[in-house]
A and B are shown apart, each in its own frame.
Chain A
């Protein structure tokens, strides 16, 4: 038996997410993540007009039932102007509860690694299958998230969608 329990989210989790704390309120980009999870993630995940992207919400609990992590992803098309589109999975959000940031389970696994592994497992198991192309948009000062993404294979740098945000993607073989 593991020290955690992962399940898909549901519309009924709105209240649970409304109290999820993962940010220092004084840091704008952290507060932005927390605000999204608390106030908008449920709507994002269950918008009936967004089904085509197969949005997924994952909740990670300790064995004792505490919510320690929240993650979400969906399928999108990355496009350069009128050129070809590249199907990819966008990591919409990966948030670890404040009291679990930097912590590990008694068996040694970092909470952040358990959560990211859950996301990658979920992406890999979607039907119809998704391309093995996963990217994330991370604030340039969010060093902790950048490190977690790197550990889980998001090692290639794409263009920035905004000067303050990096966009990192899983690797591709050179043509």
Chain B
């Protein structure tokens, strides 16, 4: 499967919380911190040719989800997802990524967080990001709210690039188009690149659509990712032609074995 890039900078989280404001603003991030709707992040010490070049803090992309939940007023879910982000950041996959990034020149390390791998980058770096992306998708698959209709993700490979648009194709063949400038801002504007479009619902007729870099990963393990619960797995509603023939008949009246009154 193709998954959204699993690490983000602070600005993405702020943007998800306050889409109309400045992503660099401090106050929204303090609010997220105060309510524990964002994790601590992972800090990497960067080096340049002449020595120490500063520190970079990056976060699990689950924090973007938590920020959206907080914006929608679901504080318990925001805190829950932020805790899941913190658990991921404390795990071995992030430790490996942090170690590899600390060995990169400062600019290349920053680019990794934005979705760009170094041209001569090691396979280990790619695998570290894949591992984090896989764990992230497992968390998303196991959480009911993260399959809410309020957030729609279209992740695929760029099949064509014109002077104004890119054509994005999902693994199952569905296609959509995104403006070239959006794909470029996500650092994914060449044929073969992986790109995700995330539609974040604001109200019944509007959404924020964000282009984010993506990465290809193995499908999450365990029951093929199937859950009988929730709204995210289309298999629970998808039927065969034989099923359709069965259902085409007139439904018979429902049976009620025990007379029951429901209060309220």
Contacts and interface: CB of A to CB of B under 8 A. Distances in A.
Interface string A75-119: 011111001101010101100000000000000010001101110
Nearest to A89: B254
B241 interface: yes
Give the interface size bracket for A toward B: 35 or more
Nearest to B233: A161
A118 B238 contact: no
B246 A156 contact: yes
Contacts of A114: 258, 260
A165 to B, nearest CB: 6
B255 interface: yes
B123 interface: no
Interface string B209-252: 00000000000000110111111010111111111111111111
B16 to A, nearest CB: 16
A48 B227 CA distance: 21
B80 to A, nearest CB: 8
Contact of A134 (B201, B228, B254): B254
A161 B257 contact: no
A66 interface: no
B191 interface: no
Contacts of B260: 4, 6, 114, 117-118, 121
Nearest to B241: A80
Contacts of A172: 246-252
Given A8-B262, A43-B144, A123 B254 contact: yes
Contacts of B184: none
Interface stretch (B105-113, B131-139, B145-153): B145-153
A44 B136 CA distance: 20
Given A133-B251, A174-B249, A124 B149 contact: no
A159 B240 contact: yes
Contacts of A125: 262
A169 B247 CA distance: 9
Contact of A118 (B149, B223, B262): B262
A173 B250 contact: yes
Nearest to A174: B249
Contacts of A158: 239-240, 243, 246
A120 B145 CA distance: 26
A43 B226 contact: no
Nearest to B253: A132
A71 to B, nearest CB: 11
Given A5-B263, A44-B144, A44-B229, A79 B241 contact: no
B237 A76 contact: yes
Dominant secondary structure at the B interface: loop
B258 A113 contact: yes
Nearest to A164: B223
Contact of A44 (B230, B245, B247, B253): B230
A80 B262 contact: no
A133 B246 CA distance: 11
B8 to A, nearest CB: 23
B226 A159 contact: no
Nearest to B235: A161
Contact of B148 (A49, A109, A165): A49
B243 A78 contact: yes
Nearest to B236: A161
Interface in A15-60: 32, 36, 40-41, 43-44, 47-50, 53, 58
Contacts of B239: 78-80, 86, 158-159
Best-surrounded residue of A8, A84, A117, A125 (most CB of chain B within 10 A): A117
Contact of B258 (A14, A117, A156): A117
Contacts of A153: 252, 254-255
Contact of A113 (B149, B243, B249, B257): B257
A116 B256 CA distance: 8
Interface of B: 72, 74, 76-77, 143-145, 148-150, 201, 223-224, 226-231, 233, 235-264
Given A43-B144, A117-B258, A121-B256, 7 more contacts: A32-B228, A50-B148, A58-B262, A78-B247, A80-B239, A120-B254, A132-B251
